[in-house]
């Protein structure tokens, strides 16, 4: 599966533009006062003005070997480290990641996945971001939602995908929907996830689809 575009509500578009364009250095387009588009390699992360702030988790895919450089990149730009079990770099076995918060307080992540075969490098520039790799979709019943997505859109799972009543890893290493049960804490923080409003455009072997979530 490949994520093409993610649209999230934001209560502070100006702060997000400063965070992504000025601090992180992403190429951004401000189409209006109420919409910001962030070019993330092969896809788009969009923020649209909203009255209520929801909190999200999303993840950028980076080349293997540069996660340490990413940690330094974030430190140099003043992002507070988000630690898991006291570690800045989290090793999942199928990838290593670092976390930070954006201007809305969303939990963002950079992850490298060596099994995808992208060329390795030990340095990092924001232009090295390959694509959005993950989007979190909290729900009441992760297993039921996963079955709906798999059957409806042809999403294929990796062999070792987590498939539990409180969390389902729905997708593959190129792109994945993280489906936690509402109220479960977002990794690596102690903040509970909540059902939220978002839109995702994605591609599977069956075609290109739009999926909308409402709180």
The whole-number average pLDDT for the span 185-191 is 86
Across the beta sheet with 207-213, the strand order is 27-32, 35-40, 43-49, 2-10, 198-204, 207-213
HEC per residue, 92-107 = CCCCEEEEEECCCCCE
Tally the C-alpha atoms within 13 A of residue 38's C-alpha that lie toward its C-beta: 28
DSSP 155: P
In sequence order, what are the residues at sequence separation of 6 or more whose Cβ sits closer than 8 angstroms to the Cβ of residue 53? Answer: 9, 10, 11, 104, 105
pTM: 0.95
How many domains are there within the chain?
1
Query: Confidence class of residue 214 from pLDDT cuts 50, 70 and 90?
Result: confident
pLDDT digits (tens, 9 = 90+) for 60-90: 999 999 999 999 999 999 998 899 888 999 9
Q: Which secondary-structure segment (H or E) carries 17? A: helix 13-17
| Full residue range of the structural domain in which residue 25 is found | 2-213
Which pLDDT value is given to residue 190?
83
The CATH number of residue 27's host domain is 3.10.180.10
> How many C-beta neighbours within 10 Å does residue 159 have?
4
pLDDT digits (tens, 9 = 90+) for 119-164: 999 999 999 999 999 999 999 999 999 999 999 999 999 988 899 9
In sequence order, what are the residues at sequence separation of 6 or more whose Cβ sits closer than 8 angstroms to the Cβ of residue 185? Answer: 191, 192, 193
Instruction: Report the C-alpha gap between 83 and 68 in whole angstroms.
Output: 14
In sequence order, what are the residues at sequence separation of 6 or more whose Cβ sits closer than 8 angstroms to the Cβ of residue 101? Answer: 79, 80, 82, 107, 108
**Mean pLDDT value across the chain:** 94
């Amino acid at each position: 599966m490949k994520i093409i575009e993610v649209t999230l509500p934001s209560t502070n578009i100006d702060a997000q533009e400063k965070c992504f364009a000025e601090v992180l250095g992403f190429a951004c387009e401000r189409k209006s006062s109420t919409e910001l588009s962030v070019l993330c390699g092969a896809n788009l992360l969009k923020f649209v003005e909203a009255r209520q702030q929801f909190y999200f988790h999303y993840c950028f895919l980076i080349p293997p070997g540069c996660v340490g450089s990413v940690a330094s990149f974030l430190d140099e730009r003043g992002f507070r480290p988000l630690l898991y079990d006291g570690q800045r770099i989290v090793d999942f076995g199928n990838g290593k990641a670092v976390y930070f918060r954006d201007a809305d307080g969303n939990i963002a992540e950079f992850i490298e996945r060596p099994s995808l075969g992208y060329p390795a490098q030990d340095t990092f520039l924001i232009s090295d971001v390959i694509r959005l790799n993950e989007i979190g979709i909290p729900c009441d019943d992760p297993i039921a939602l996963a079955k709906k997505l798999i059957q409806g859109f042809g999403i294929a799972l990796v062999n070792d995908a987590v498939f539990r009543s409180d969390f389902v890893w729905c997708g593959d290493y190129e792109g994945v929907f993280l489906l936690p049960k509402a109220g479960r804490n977002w990794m690596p923080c102690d903040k509970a996830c909540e059902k939220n409003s978002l839109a995702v455009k994605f591609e599977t072997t069956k075609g290109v689809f739009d999926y909308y979530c409402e709180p």
